[in-house]
Amino acid sequence: MGLDAYVVCNCVKEGKVKPPPFDSGLLEWTEEGIDLSDSGDDEIYRLFLRWREQACEHEDFYYYYDRVANTAGGNFFYGAMDRLGIGYFPLLSSIGGKPLPANQADKALKELDILESMIRELQGTFLVEPESLEEYKKALAGEDSWFYASGGQLTYRLNERGFCIIHGANGELFRSVAFTQEVIRGESVSREHPLVRFHDTETGRVHECDHPFRKKIWGVEELYYPSSLQVVTRELKSSDFPSAGVLRKLFEASMQTGNPIIWT
């Protein structure tokens, strides 16, 4: 789950498209872009889908299309706005709802500038791999953020006290600000659940669980499991919000085309 968004091009309006292999009178311009009239049958709809892929220089008529945020990233972004004062961001705080009209894009861009200028007022807590500085999880400082749950009882959490494993009935099973993970059984080894051993490097405390930290490296079949992780708290910076870069491109695309931003 998450949020995607796009801005359509003007190629149809400007006559810069290949002729469709069906009656062009069936095309409709809607708020969300070019669509096919309900009077078109299934075969025409299939032709329409194939045609719009390469009808102009913009695939599917997308002048710009991108993923804005996954669920965790969206929560982090909205949480930062809330901490700084949601009143500064009336348009940014409404993303994901109704389409943003092109005449509001410039105002939204200015709100984004304000957000980026204020972001250093906040701190965040990060779970990182020390060697690569790759971030695996993040939360706003002072927040108790859960990011994995199993069986309705067990949760993984991140807060200023560290990485915590909590069980509803048994309380805290593990907590650490610096630990190693030994993957005893990976996710592709068998049909059995994965098995990982977390080892706190300061106290020696050990806990075994079924959900290791891992990431997918494109082009590599096997998952990558970091051997060590640590929790750090630091001042936030603009690069902690990749959503901001995507939103900036969306606002600029809307201003350039005069078309709204559609959230999906």
CB–CB of 109/248 below 8 Å?
yes
Is a pLDDT exceeding 70 seen at residue 128?
yes
pLDDT at site 191? 64
Q: Is 96 exposed, middle or buried (0-12, 13-18, 19+ CB in 10 A)?
A: middle
pLDDT at site 127? 98
**Considering the chain, what percentage of its residues have pLDDT values greater than 70?**
98
The count of C-alpha atoms lying within 13 angstroms of the C-alpha of 13, restricted to the half-sphere facing its C-beta, is 10
- Select from 158, 187, 186 the least CA-distant residue to 174: 158
Is a pLDDT exceeding 80 seen at residue 187?
no
- Select from 126, 109, 136, 101 the least CA-distant residue to 212: 136
> pLDDT per residue over 52-66, tens digit each?
999 999 999 999 999
Residue ranges covered by each domain of the chain: 2-65, 67-122+237-259, 123-235
Tell if the pTM clears 0.85, that is, is over it: yes
Is a pLDDT exceeding 60 seen at residue 211?
yes
Q: What is the CA radius of gyration of the chain?
A: 23
C-alpha pair distances (Å), 174 with each of 45, 141, 156, 164, 180? 55, 20, 9, 6, 13
In DSSP terms, 4 is beta-bridged to: 67
- Select from 87, 89, 143 the least CA-distant residue to 116: 89
In DSSP terms, 62 is beta-bridged to: 8
pLDDT at site 240? 96
Query: Mean pLDDT, the chain, as a whole number?
Result: 94
pLDDT band at 170 (very low <50, low <70, confident <90, very high): confident
CB–CB of 234/123 below 8 Å?
yes
